Amino acid sequence: MKKFLEEFKSFSMKGNILDLAIGVIIGGAFSKIVSSLVEDIIMPIISLIIGKINIAEAGIKLTEDIKGNPVILKYGTFAKNIIDFLIISMSIFIFVRILNRFKRKDEEKKEELRSTEAKLLEEIRDILKKDIEEKS
């Protein structure tokens, strides 16, 4: 049991796991913000534009269940969830794109440094070669 706990501690303290946990927490909070944006701002504006009906609650009554409760196809809720998804996925896309841009700049700097080092090594090689030829 002690070995199991040590392995779990080692696993859970790796950088990737902590990053993932932080990402999940921030993602949950961000999801709530986006849901509020869609429910409280975007959907009322859409409802106002298309005819003063509440799109988020729009649906079609299909039938009634055994107890007499209506069975409703809630296409308004579905539309709201699609808008949520699009906003969240666009935000993630933009965030990843920015991160990739930073990575590319970092890689370009490393490549520039490598090429500078290579030039210096070539110059040192040429100087050493020239010294050897002069001594011969």
Q: Which residues of the chain have pLDDT under 50?
A: none
Is 56 buried (19+), middle (13-18) or exposed (0-12) by CB count in 10 A? buried
Task: Give the span between the Cα atoms of 113 and 121, in whole angstroms.
Answer: 12
Task: Give the span between the Cα atoms of 133 and 136, in whole angstroms.
Answer: 5
Helix (H, G, I), strand (E, B) or coil at 72: strand
User: What's the residue count for the chain?
Assistant: 136
pLDDT, residue 15, reads 63
Query: What is the residue type of 102?
Result: F
Which domains does the chain show, CATH number per domain? 2-106 (1.10.1200.120)
Mutual orientation of helices 15-37 and 75-135 as an angle, nearest 10°? 140
Is 15 buried (19+), middle (13-18) or exposed (0-12) by CB count in 10 A? exposed
Q: Residues 58, 76: contact at Cβ < 8 Å? A: yes
